[in-house]
Chains A and B, each alone.
Chain A
């Protein structure tokens, strides 16, 4: 098991390297730069800025420079948020995004798996149809619509919950953004669970369990659900990585000081180092969660146990 984890961590190094390299060059080949503002800067100022940030160097040298700094944990200065370097920006925002994302993940998994299981057990009933309709809405309606609607109903009309901000970090502030963030993922979990539960309920070993007179609770929970969770667990990794690294849309709507908005702002402003920082952050999350999920998978399914 430990050697499996070490092997996987070792193989993360080339993955990260490739991700960094591709995004570094893609970013540079995009037109414009961090200092191309609406009103062009005087040529002398521009030249000075470029020199200060070493953007006048050949591209390969910048790349080597970036890599050698990144290895030591220095992800460079942000070109736009001039008071902070990238590591500080992410360090400040990440706890907010992660806390919100964690609750959203919890809601999405518990809600989605429950709804999907109920739908599968009552396949083709009104309840099944209702759950699946709602989950279709969850997938199709974007969160920049869900967010404002939630705010309008619960914060303005009913005035039950605050409209935005982190406040004191209490649950009241988190409920609405959490729902907006979780809803699409909850819908995906519900659909995944329903599909794999229906499949699991038709397997031969479920027939065996029934033939041996086991009560339906045991049949469903012990035998069907454990197998049905395998595809659901696979989706957990990309989903957790996405939720825990924040969402630009939800954080903007609910004015949450997380890292989600840096993805969009960094990209729009050609803030090269900030974009690189967020890309590396997401890559690390994806790698770590994939590893966790593979370990979890092995615990659930003895056939893929890693030894």
Chain B
């Protein structure tokens, strides 16, 4: 039945190359894809697989150093090599796109109403005033509350989910034949992700356009796409019906992707294990506004009366959506920002400690960040980065000793010790995160706060980093506070879970209890969205 449908986009032998100072990089190596009328095709792959560049190439949106070859026919019309003017007839009217970052994909300087109207006015003629009615309809359609008021809002006045809805409204404006969604939910919270996917699905039912969903997350594809193409290193390794791919994957890579959901559980520490880090009534306030000549400052409470006790060898998972205060809590526990409450490290009360008093404790309290790109200085070698803490905490070490420690630390995180003379940009995301972990481990800490350490990584790499963190914990008896919005990772890593919302703890308990029998509706929503999409 599905095979009877007409092919609207036929891609044959498509190649995308980028010329770089180091020679030509083949991002897409001659792939074939078919998109049929009204269907959903998911193009799945990890970063660098060429899944986005395929679509960018077809749509004429490659960076200046990119070239596209081969063929992509839209209803018989060749798009590759089409002059921009002719391509502009298709883009934004027959084929439209939505992107990963709804914040940056909209122009911050214009109202959303104007931006949605722009393709209407351009492709159908008329004035912005005339298009306004259609824009209101579209905003209503994509579920923006109070469209009459929101139409004159600027992107920064909307939430991430609403911005993505605005992008969808823009994509639907000219009733397209094909909608390309490039990681449309990756930047959104799990509960919002589900809503956006549901919206896309229902709009597809209503208007019958075909959707190409580009994603790294095989999980969201299962209930969304009719067919799946799995890409790796610029090639399609497998494509077929979604059910077949999930039940009988042929390629090893697909099997690996399917298995890459992190597995395993962590056993809780013994009841007798001593408490190593404790925070009582932790509150963090941010001042909003203020200044010499303006009154009316308001206070925003980012963390509200949180209690947390971390035992030796324990991993506490802190989950919550963006803005829930989970990262702020992590920093408050490390006394890295002004906060009120009582804090205890081992048997020492550190509540009133200033920076100088905290300094000797810092080596035992380490932090690993989410973004392995931003958290490593690009101008220093890996060796310099990971040994920096030693200068502060063990200044008596000789150069040779420091170098020996750097080699140890790199070996421990599974990197070649020779890499200490290289720079961060020479490493992949997963390797960089290992460097960041080595930087923490070299000081032989007792407590490590892991702030979304796997969120910027591909699934297959995520699994390896989780394995590494587990090994290190076993070997050194570490205690972790594992902050993440990714529930499947938290489930695999922690023995105790805290669920946060708006700065407060909504629910807490042992991992099994939280995941098997959540009590609070919010926890249920989170778990539902994460595991049943």
Contacts and interface: CB of A to CB of B under 8 A. Distances in A.
A123 B65 CA distance: 12
B308 to A, nearest CB: 36
A161 B96 CA distance: 58
Contacts of B59: 211
Nearest to B154: A302
A7 B293 contact: yes
A216 B60 CA distance: 13
Contacts of B170: 208, 212
A36 to B, nearest CB: 42
A250 to B, nearest CB: 37
Contacts of A226: 109
Contacts of A218: 118, 122
Interface stretch (B84-92, B337-345, B373-381): B84-92
Contacts of B101: 204
Most buried by A among B89, B109, B119: B109
Contact of A213 (B110, B123, B154): B123
A301 interface: yes
B180 to A, nearest CB: 9
A222 B167 CA distance: 18
B104 A203 contact: yes
**Most chain B CB inside 10 Å of its own CB: which residue of A210, A211, A300:** A211
A213 B107 contact: no
A207 B87 contact: no
A42 B90 CA distance: 91
B88 A213 contact: yes
Contact of A208 (B90, B93, B105, B294): B105
Interface in B44-90: 59-61, 63-64, 84-85, 87-90
B533 to A, nearest CB: 25
Given A203-B104, A205-B106, A207-B105, A213 B119 contact: yes
Contacts, number: 84
A123 B64 CA distance: 10
A204 B96 contact: no
Nearest to A6: B293
B105 A204 contact: yes
A32 B60 CA distance: 70
A91 B91 CA distance: 60
**Which range contains the number of B residues in contact with the other chain?**
35 or more
Contact of B119 (A123, A204, A207, A214): A214
B119 A212 contact: yes
Contacts of B400: none
A82 interface: no
B108 A11 contact: no
Nearest to A301: B109
A135 B30 CA distance: 45
A63 to B, nearest CB: 24
Given A7-B294, A303-B154, A212 B92 contact: yes
B61 A211 contact: yes
| Size class of the A contact interface (CB-based, 8 Å) | 20 to 34
Contact of A214 (B63, B88, B96, B99): B88
Nearest to B114: A222
B96 A211 contact: yes
B285 to A, nearest CB: 24
A302 B109 contact: yes
B60 A210 contact: yes
Interface in B447-471: none
B292 interface: yes
B97 interface: yes
Given A11-B293, A207-B61, A214 B92 contact: yes
A211 B91 contact: yes
A305 to B, nearest CB: 9
A215 B294 CA distance: 45
B233 interface: no
Contact of A215 (B104, B105, B111, B122): B122
Contacts of A211: 59, 61, 91-92, 96-97
Contacts of B280: none
B293 A10 contact: yes
A205 B92 CA distance: 14
Nearest to B84: A216
Contacts of A204: 99, 101, 104-105
A294 to B, nearest CB: 14
A213 B106 contact: no
Contact of B107 (A7, A123, A205, A216): A205
Nearest to B107: A205
A227 B108 contact: yes
B510 interface: no
A136 to B, nearest CB: 24
A218 B154 CA distance: 19
Interface string A218-239: 1000010011000000000000
A208 B106 contact: yes
A242 interface: no
A218 B87 CA distance: 16
A248 interface: no
Contacts of A7: 293-294
A227 B109 contact: yes
A280 interface: no
Given A205-B105, A205-B108, A214-B122, 10 more contacts: A204-B104, A208-B170, A209-B107, A210-B91, A212-B96, A212-B170, A213-B91, A213-B92, A213-B93, A302-B154
8 smallest CB-CB distances across A and B, nearest first, come from A212-B92, A213-B92, A213-B91, A213-B88, A204-B104, A205-B107, A212-B119, A302-B154
Interface of B: 59-61, 63-64, 84-85, 87-93, 96-97, 99, 101, 104-111, 118-119, 122-123, 154, 156, 167, 170, 292-294
9 contacts: A205-B104, A211-B96, A212-B97, A212-B119, A213-B123, A214-B119, A218-B118, A302-B154, A303-B156
Interface of A: 7, 10-11, 123, 202-205, 207-216, 218, 223, 226-227, 300-303
